[in-house]
Amino acid sequence: AQKVTQAQTEISVVEKEDVTLDCVYETRDTTYYLFWYKQPPSGELVFLIRRNSFDEQNEISGRYSWNFQKSTSSFNFTITASQVVDSAVYFCALSEAHATNFGNEKLTFGTGTRLTIIP
């Protein structure tokens, strides 16, 4: 069965520090997709990034970067020079291509990491 583990329940850093959020996943499928979502204090989840299992290229988007390593089943998220606006709960999620029925219903979320940026 698929599983996503976010071992860091809460992290606090001082503004401008770099911070890495860990995500470890388990799946038996060879084709799968990994996601990161952000849930700011307003409550609405916002999609940040998607990565498929065949693309291990790291990605950088401004201050955000993602490190996907199949060898360790990890998809970690780094925020460089953190800002107060980065304070949120971050969720990692996994969906399998060869799941039962349709596929999208097998999207599994981790328990989230609450990130607090201290001004």
Partner 1 sequence: NAGVTQTPKFQVLKTGQSMTLQCAQDMNHEYMSWYRQDPGMGLRLIHYSVGAGITDQGEVPNGYNVSRSTTEDFPLRLLSAAPSQTSVYFCASSYSVSPYNEQFFGPGTRLTVL
Write out the residues near partner 1 by the rule CB under 8 A: 4, 9, 32-33, 35, 37, 42-47, 50, 52, 91, 95-97, 99, 101-107, 109-112
**Interior angle at CA 14, CA 10 and CA 20, nearest 5:** 50
Residue closer to partner 1 by CB (options 54, 62) is 54
In whole angstroms, the minimum distance from the beta carbon of 59 to partner 1 comes to 14
Residue closer to partner 1 by CB (options 34, 82) is 34
Residue closer to partner 1 by CB (options 43, 62) is 43
In whole angstroms, the minimum distance from the beta carbon of 10 to partner 1 comes to 11
Classify residue 112 as left (phi > 0), alpha (psi -120 to 50) or beta. left
Classify residue 73 as left (phi > 0), alpha (psi -120 to 50) or beta. left
The one-letter amino acid at 46? V
